[in-house]
Amino acid sequence: MFKSPFDRSKNKTLEEVEEIFRSTREDFFLRKNRNLQFLLQKRYSQIDSLLTNCDRVLEIGTGAGFSKLFIKQKFISSDIANNEWIDECFSAEKIPHKSSSLDAVFTTDTILHLNDPVNFFKEVERVLKPGGLFIIQEINLSLVHKILIKTLNHCTYDYKKNLYLEKNELEMGPFSANAANLDLILSNNKQFNKEFSFEKKIDTKNEFLIYLLSGGITAKFPYINFPRFLLVLIDFLDKILLYFLPNIFALSRNIVFRKSPIKFSQIKYSGWAETVKKQHDCLSFDNYFDIKNNIELINLAIGRAKSYGDVCTLTNQMILKTDHLDKILEIDYKNENLTCQAGVTIDQINNEINNDNYILPVTGGFEKISIGGAIANDIHGKNFFHYKSFGSHINWIKILLSDGDIRVISKDKYSDLFFATVGGIGLTGIILEASIKIIKVKNLGLKVENIVVKNEYIFQHLKKHSRRNDYCYGILSFHSRNKLSFIKLGNFSSEAVVKKRNNLPFLNPFLMSIFFKFSNKFSHRLFYSLLTILYRKRLYKEQVHLNDYLYIYNNSLNYMEGVQIHYVVREADSENAFSKISDLIKSSGSTINLVVIKYFTDCDARYLSFPQNGFAVSIDVKSSKNIKSLIKDIIDTVISLNGRIYLAKDSDLSKDQFSEIFNKEEFREVVIKYNKMMKFSSDAAQRYNLN
């Protein structure tokens, strides 16, 4: 009754093994064993999730070919037994692939059948790229599993072998096995680290009842088909049991290694507005030599991860954090130029040059963003009419390409790569340093006028005041019945002493923090109604420090929960666009935390850069169950009017929507011209299908 093909008393030829796998596969489709389907779905879905962002993947020991039924990612199947579902037929101990050619290798219940598993590990290490994944699903020799092996006699285990010095002696064919192979390799930790450059990411012991109730994969044992809800319950009970007693009951083991010649750290982070932290492997160097030597490992460089969405994340992949590239290399006040490394932050520069009344021509709304990030996202500020975007003030960029070549690029030298890098969300190479312009101002005092206007006039007022003032932006109250908007104007003061006064409590950062944390439509209406009573005049003046004006929401926006959609539409269509989008928001019943509007003039932005002539509108939408559908509808509206979405703040743009806004192939052409491929990536780039 308990029949297994793993019969140690009989040798099996390859032809017999092939027939066993064909019979197993046919039996799987005929019997419709729900228990086994549940087990395989569970196993392979875990593997599938690890293969995200892996392009070239190889499976070793495909057997009956069940993996292709459950794994969505593309991969090459292989086995020593050749059947029609096998892509490549070879021995696992001699893999016919070039060195450093694969992103991942995975195997299921294969290592126990190998004569020389140490050589197999070496072969996997050879064919994996630096940073590549080695995913193992193998039997676990718990107390129960040892009893089963002794009882069924379908294989054996031998702990007396030293596999680093000698091979197994498995002479009975492909199904012969030493179930202790994996334990023997991993138990000698010192020898393992000496032999291999693998870093262990995951090591879990799994499956007890759910394994026994499956009836076996290649073996055929009696089973009773259970409904899915009961299988889920049994799986839950398994997890509880194995949490406390894995060495007694766990029948399988999952291990994930990453190939790396150097040590790296594992960190979890997300885009600034994302709620779920994502796992990353992280390198960080303070010199260009080490970065260049490890370029094959690195798939994305990041600064301070202040992008709202996923342009700064690459889940389960190796990233470079540039926070150690934090040196300001030169300040040339005479020619008004500053040279710094990519990890230097805007507040570092401000602290260095503000005392001499120098400033950066353009900064965003946050000080703690890196210069590399400012370039990659081509940030813009509250003075766009006069100074355009950050990219307009870059003299040159030093960038590391995928082949290790370091180039200095500018508007005149490698201009296509320069313009693709400015706003290119980190996909053109690793920005190492840059030379940027600085400007001299009278002093850091700013005369601010806070104008209160009706919503219907905000666009025309913004255009008029943007021309006449050093800084200008609008804040629109979406839910208030009196439909008030605020336009904040800023002009450099001639006064040497800056007195900080704030006559408009609405813009007090502390109050804004509380407001964002607990806001809803009712609180919005109440808040703006109180403002109407409180403020009798239409014009409020104050004198502030420049940085208090530029970075007023530095901390308060941390309390805002939701998604920001940031778009720009041509001037002629701006009011029409906002009207349509307002109708969408109202019909969805969503709460809007904040609406900020700026006037853009034309600038020399190309490829993936955001700015174009018109009105740029950022809308912060509070989280709700229908927020995704609302954002999609807003994006479709923007696309219908030939507008653009700011990628630094995007989390929802689909690959089709992206292609309608940006010339994807033109951008890819430039990147591939200099990198030979689309090496650098991000979760957003994967979503846009750029890779």
The string of pLDDT tens digits covering residues 105-158 is 999 999 999 999 999 999 999 999 888 999 999 999 999 999 998 888 878 899
pLDDT for res 560? 58
pLDDT for res 199? 87
Task: Pick the range with the lowest mean pLDDT from 41-45, 79-83, 163-167, 468-472.
Answer: 163-167
Instruction: Flag whether pLDDT at 175 surpasses 70.
Output: no
pLDDT for res 500? 46
pLDDT for res 60? 97
Instruction: Flag whether pLDDT at 267 surpasses 80.
Output: yes
Predicted confidence band of residue 70 (pLDDT cuts 50, 70, 90): very high
Cα 404 from chain centre: 23
Instruction: Flag whether pLDDT at 510 surpasses 70.
Output: no
> What token pair was written down for 368?
């703690």
Q: Where are the alpha helices (DSSP H) in 451-551?
A: 458-468, 509-518, 521-534, 546-550
Asked whether 261 and 251 are in contact (CB, 8 A), the reply is no
Average pLDDT over residues 654-672: 96
> What token pair was written down for 628?
């995704």
Cα 560 from chain centre: 21
Higher pLDDT, 271 or 631: 631
pLDDT for res 145? 94
Q: What is the per-residue pLDDT across 196-227, written as a single tens digit (0 to 9) for each?
A: 889 898 999 999 999 999 887 776 677 889 99
Instruction: Flag whether pLDDT at 579 surpasses 90.
Output: yes
Task: Pick the range with the lowest mean pLDDT from 62-71, 447-456, 503-512, 656-665.
Answer: 503-512
Instruction: Flag whether pLDDT at 506 surpasses 70.
Output: no
Q: Please tell me whether residue 114 adopts helix, strand or coil conformation.
A: coil
Select from 17, 195, 11, 12 the least CA-distant residue to 117: 195
Average pLDDT over residues 553-573: 77
Residue with tokens 């021995």: 91
Domains along the chain? 14-259 (3.40.50.150), 265-441 (3.30.465.10), 445-661 (3.40.462.10)
Instruction: Flag whether pLDDT at 88 surpasses 70.
Output: yes
The whole-angstrom separation of Cα 299 and Cα 132 is 11
Q: Which amino acid is at 668?
A: R
The whole-angstrom separation of Cα 560 and Cα 24 is 55
Q: Which amino acid is at 173?
A: G
HSE (side-chain half, CA atoms, 13 Å) at 105: 29
Select from 586, 613, 615, 581 the least CA-distant residue to 474: 615
Q: Where are the alpha helices (DSSP H) in 128-218?
A: 143-152, 181-187, 189-195, 209-212
pLDDT for res 236? 95
pLDDT for res 611? 92
Mean pLDDT score across all residues of the chain? 88
Higher pLDDT, 594 or 553: 594
> What token pair was written down for 465?
């005041």
In sequence order, what E strands does 45-185 have? 57-60, 78-79, 88-89, 102-108, 128-139
Instruction: Flag whether pLDDT at 187 surpasses 60.
Output: yes
> What token pair was written down for 97?
């692939």
Residue 10, φ and ψ in degrees, nearest 5: -130, 130
Select from 377, 361, 387 the least CA-distant residue to 599: 387
pLDDT for res 503? 47
pLDDT for res 1? 41
Predicted confidence band of residue 260 (pLDDT cuts 50, 70, 90): confident
The whole-angstrom separation of Cα 342 and Cα 326 is 7
The whole-angstrom separation of Cα 198 and Cα 175 is 28
Instruction: Flag whether pLDDT at 530 surpasses 80.
Output: no
pLDDT for res 386? 94
Whole-model pTM: value is: 0.69
The whole-angstrom separation of Cα 271 and Cα 259 is 27
pLDDT for res 539? 61
Task: Pick the range with the lowest mean pLDDT from 314-323, 360-369, 528-537, 555-564.
Answer: 528-537
CA 11-16-17 angle, to 5 degrees, is: 90
| Relative orientation angle of helices 509-518 and 521-534, to the nearest 10 degrees | 150
In this structure, the number of other CB atoms found within 10 A of the CB of residue 663 comes to: 12
Instruction: Flag whether pLDDT at 171 surpasses 60.
Output: no
Instruction: Flag whether pLDDT at 645 surpasses 80.
Output: yes
